[in-house]
């Protein structure tokens, strides 16, 4: 009996506390002024922004408000989305890391109307994706809003194009976001840089890079040297580091001690680092022997550049993440996929295409009859295979991906 009375008292006390809390904290979002409402809504996951217009008239006005976009720009970080690329680009599919699911986005109208319909994504930064048309022009798009525009035409590229990288500056009310598109071209050792600056809406003058003093390659690539690697189709091919079309100019850009550095893979598979501030470049020592079969890609995570290598050894496959330390002039292993997962790639002759954002790294593994997508969290060394993305009941096979922060305020 006493226990029953205590239970009643506890329930009564909880009910009373709940009522008091409701009187103190209970309010509806409709009671907030417009500025505070916009600030509250700006903290919602980006996927919810698509539904703002269907709630009420007031929230519809928020979705198109300039001050709401400013509030969104003040959110320091959003969980990345990965923009997926398949051989037949007819729609935009992304993987949302905050909800760990696949989403379909509207394909940018300008890309649908563009006569060069085979535009492919080649770089990303901040909340933007950059496409390259078959004529060599560039289109920048915000995948979330679908807004895009074509950049002014660059000067005719008569030299070989090695890398396309994109860098985005931080945004604030006083300093609107801007971005740079960097092109690296030329024939080794004569490389040159061309930069597009969105804040000026123009291409800057092209400038040449010199080889860093004291940095000489192990061997200068020649027409007679045969270099083996794995193509996207899983075949062992030679001489040219051909990749999936969207990753043909695979490169990353970082800012180190205030200096912009762009990294890309040379035709022979070495990592080339171009310091845009000092206007020089250097080549890192080779990770694996020239005649060793492997697949390799560059990835940027946490402001650092890493190299991901898929190779086979002793009847098993290994996928490892490496970082080059300038002081020791040597490569050191940072992480490795568990053998129970990487062994699945053995004998598949697969190609890897990687992309990173923050602590996360997405690896697309493909061969002629095999496709897999793995998400790695470098901070905790956690590896997770993503579920298949099914469209019309059929699993999609993506060749590569680009990372971006889903931001409605990102300007093209």
Residue 260 has pLDDT above 50, yes or no: yes
* Interval 153-198: pLDDT, tens: 886 566 788 999 999 876 544 445 789 999 999 988 899 999 999 9
Which run of H or of E encompasses 21?
Answer: helix 2-25
**CA distances for 267 relative to 226, 242, 270, angstroms:** 11, 8, 8
Q: What percent of the chain has pLDDT over 90?
A: 37
Least confident range of 92-101, 168-177, 334-343, 348-357: 168-177
Residue 231 has pLDDT above 50, yes or no: no
CATH label, 77-404, candidates 3.40.50.720, 2.120.10.80, 3.40.50.1000, 2.40.30.160: 2.120.10.80
Would you place residue 14 in the very low, low, confident or very high pLDDT band (cuts 50, 70, 90)? very low
Residue 262: its pLDDT value, please?
A: 95
**Helices and strands in the chain: count of H runs, count of E runs:** 6, 29
Average pLDDT over residues 109-122: 69
Q: Which residue has the higher pLDDT, 154 or 379?
A: 379
**CA distances for 27 relative to 21, 32, 42, 306, angstroms:** 11, 9, 19, 49
Q: What percent of the chain has pLDDT over 70?
A: 78
Domain spans, the chain: 2-72, 77-404
Could you tell me if 279 and 210 are in contact, meaning their C-beta atoms sit under 8 angstroms apart?
Answer: yes
């Amino acid at each position: 009996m006493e226990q029953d009375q205590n239970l009643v008292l506890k329930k009564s006390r909880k009910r009373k506390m709940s009522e008091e809390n409701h009187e103190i904290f209970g309010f509806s979002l409709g009671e907030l002024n417009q500025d505070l409402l916009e600030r509250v809504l700006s903290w919602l996951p980006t996927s919810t922004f698509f539904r703002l217009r269907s709630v009420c008239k007031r929230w519809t006005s928020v979705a198109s408000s300039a001050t709401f976009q400013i509030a969104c720009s003040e959110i320091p970080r959003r969980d990345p989305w990965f923009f997926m690329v398949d051989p037949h680009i007819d729609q935009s599919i992304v993987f949302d890391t905050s909800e760990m699911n696949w989403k379909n986005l509207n394909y940018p109208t300008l890309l649908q109307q563009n006569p060069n319909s085979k535009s492919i994504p080649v770089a990303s930064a901040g909340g933007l994706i950059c496409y390259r048309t078959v004529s060599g022009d560039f289109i920048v798009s915000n995948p979330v809003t679908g807004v895009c525009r074509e950049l002014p035409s660059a000067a005719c590229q008569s030299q070989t194009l090695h890398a396309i990288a994109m860098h985005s500056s931080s945004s604030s009310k006083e300093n609107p976001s801007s971005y740079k598109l960097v092109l690296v071209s030329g024939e080794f050792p004569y490389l040159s840089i061309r930069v597009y600056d969105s804040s000026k809406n123009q291409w800057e003058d092209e400038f040449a890079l010199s080889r860093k003093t004291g940095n000489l390659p192990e061997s200068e690539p020649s027409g007679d040297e045969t270099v083996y690697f794995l193509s996207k189709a899983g075949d062992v091919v030679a001489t040219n580091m051909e990749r999936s079309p969207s990753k043909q100019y695979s490169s990353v850009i970082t800012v180190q001690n205030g200096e912009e550095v762009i990294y890309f893979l040379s035709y022979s598979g070495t990592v080339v680092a171009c310091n845009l501030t000092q206007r020089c470049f250097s080549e890192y020592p080779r990770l694996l022997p020239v005649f060793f079969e492997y697949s390799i890609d560059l990835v940027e995570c946490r402001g650092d550049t890493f190299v991901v290598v898929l190779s086979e050894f002793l009847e098993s496959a290994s996928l490892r993440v490496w970082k080059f330390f300038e002081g020791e002039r040597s490569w050191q292993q940072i992480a490795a996929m568990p053998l129970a997962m990487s062994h699945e790639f053995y004998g598949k002759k697969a190609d890897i295409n990687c992309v990173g954002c923050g602590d996360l790294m997405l690896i697309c593994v493909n061969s002629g009859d095999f496709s897999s997508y793995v998400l790695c969290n470098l901070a905790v060394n956690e590896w997770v295979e993503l579920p298949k993305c099914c469209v019309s009941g059929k699993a999609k096979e993506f060749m590569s991906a680009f990372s971006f922060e889903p931001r409605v305020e990102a300007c093209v």
